[in-house]
Structure 1
């Protein structure tokens, strides 16, 4: 466990990617409700912003996470940032080896791994110049074990889990912590095809910001994440075999 404490939400200046809806929107709302001084809400298209995001009062900025120009412009604009939440994600819902679209995995890696890396590189000097702070990477249970039915998404999230560890080591001397969130099934568009119990995005944001403040390295944010971690620890082969079988199911459900 890092000896560094993470940034306090109260009084912080937070940048959230993928903020238009779902978990990103929840982070915007929760940060503001807990006293953040300012939240920059990054969206792909500033002309296509949800009413829910506009109503938060966050400052909306153009931030297509695969655009080097957008990232550079955001870092130059958000000079007071102390927290970065790498939330934007892509699940192409394709297989990996037997893919119908061979380029899907590359797009997933660009959004889910190379984008957080580029954003971390861009904002680390900004956060350091403001006295230190925190980076939060929103990941998935698919990051902790090969998840066959999540094609290129699982390897990309696993790569970002390692990115979090390396970020902590490199940026710790600058007073910057990094917390990786292991998230289960959440009630968002990405999980709309999954039946059964799904978490409220706001609960994920609450758990994530608390873990950030404590300086946690990783945080299992919900019941599915905790139970998945436990099953993996008890019997890794059985757990991974079970995930593989889900690849051939016509309907996915969070029910046991």
Structure 2
């Protein structure tokens, strides 16, 4: 419901569904996956529904998870850091601050640790000891035309990506803004570690993007309505956010 997605403000209550996204940045000679979603076991545990498994979506656009060299985890919440069997050869890119957060004293509090899954944290530690994790500074370049920016707020080490596309500088905001309405109405999302950082994060994503139309929020179903489908049979499933949005 709408009341579950905002702190404060005059929000008229009613159904407000939430989508879960995994992104692929496809360059001339490199693919970078952004976030890894969650699997059927986690969906059952959390009361969620998987409409299209991540591997199925990647295969549809010609991406083999076994061959993906780099995966960016925007933050370690269960819906962004699961599917541990995918991407067996990839390097995982995480903010130093996020890893310290999800393994530190704040996790003593159930209210703070609830969005995390211990399975995901342990899997990331396994990758770390296998030499497959790269930690990043608050602002860092991942590759030419791709930068990482730590904004915190929703989770202490949440990072967003600024990506140069054929239509200019795009920001994959992840959960720095769950919905367009969080930005438009300047209202915080209720799952928040630091509300001040969350509000400042809205300013950051606006500053990094060429325009409001260049910001892609983390869970808004409107994304799949306003962006062109990757192919005729991926309508409402796989979108091309490097192309301009269409008014819905």
If the length of structure 1 is used for normalisation, what is the TM-score? 0.36
Q: Higher helix proportion, which one?
A: 1
Q: TM-score, normalised by structure 2?
A: 0.37
Higher relative contact order (CA 8 A, sep 6+): 1
